[in-house]
């Protein structure tokens, strides 16, 4: 499970890095040589969508999203677990149709392409849609772990670089 989560985190991080490199590279080229990277704007938008969907997947599993715990902090462990289960069900109820609609958009993209290089946007949509499916799978895994009485989102204990 740790490898799967690390892989998904790495995918999201790589796309964020790619966005930063394309943007910084474009600024540098524009300022120094008065040229632009073709499709830098369209590409950055599409890459951001991919990074967001893959990031949502990991955030869903770890329950690391922004939340207000006014009630949760003031109730007992049993009520907290119930609130967590309800939240996981609602999150999954949101993510399932989202993933469905992202795939629907991907499959109907047709011949849409970026403006300069004419790269098919369906490729980018498909990678993002795969991230949406990963979010559904990790959301379902989180719900399953909560129903089994385990906190799926709890981070594993940090290991010392010098051994146990």
Q: Give the domain ranges of the chain.
A: 2-147
Contact 31, 107 (CB under 8 A): no
pLDDT tens track, the chain, 164 positions: 889 999 999 999 999 999 999 999 999 999 999 999 999 999 999 999 999 999 999 888 888 766 667 888 889 989 989 999 999 999 999 999 999 999 999 999 999 999 999 999 999 999 999 999 999 999 999 999 999 987 655 544 444 344 44
What's residue 140's pLDDT? 95
What's residue 158's pLDDT? 45
What's residue 73's pLDDT? 85
Q: CA-CA distance, 81 to 142, in Å (whole number)?
A: 12
Q: CA-CA distance, 54 to 42, in Å (whole number)?
A: 19
Spatial CA neighbour of 5 closest among 53, 59, 84:
59
What's residue 33's pLDDT? 94
Tokens of 47: 């890459």
Coil vs helix vs strand at 34: coil
């Amino acid at each position: 499970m740790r490898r799967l989560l690390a892989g998904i985190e790495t995918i999201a991080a790589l796309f964020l890095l790619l966005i930063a490199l394309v943007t910084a590279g474009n600024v540098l080229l524009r300022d120094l040589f008065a040229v632009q990277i073709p499709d830098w704007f369209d590409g950055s938008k599409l890459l951001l969508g991919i990074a967001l969907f893959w990031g949502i997947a990991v955030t869903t599993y770890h329950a690391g999203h922004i939340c207000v715990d006014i009630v949760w902090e003031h109730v007992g462990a049993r009520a907290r677990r119930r609130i967590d289960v309800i939240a996981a069900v609602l999150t999954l109820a949101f993510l399932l149709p989202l993933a469905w609609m992202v795939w629907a958009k991907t499959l109907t993209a047709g011949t849409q392409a970026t403006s300069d290089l004419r790269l098919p946007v369906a490729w980018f949509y498909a990678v993002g849609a795969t991230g949406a499916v990963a979010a559904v799978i990790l959301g379902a895994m989180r719900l399953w772990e909560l129903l089994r009485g385990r906190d799926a989102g709890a981070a594993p204990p940090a290991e010392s670089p010098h051994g146990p």
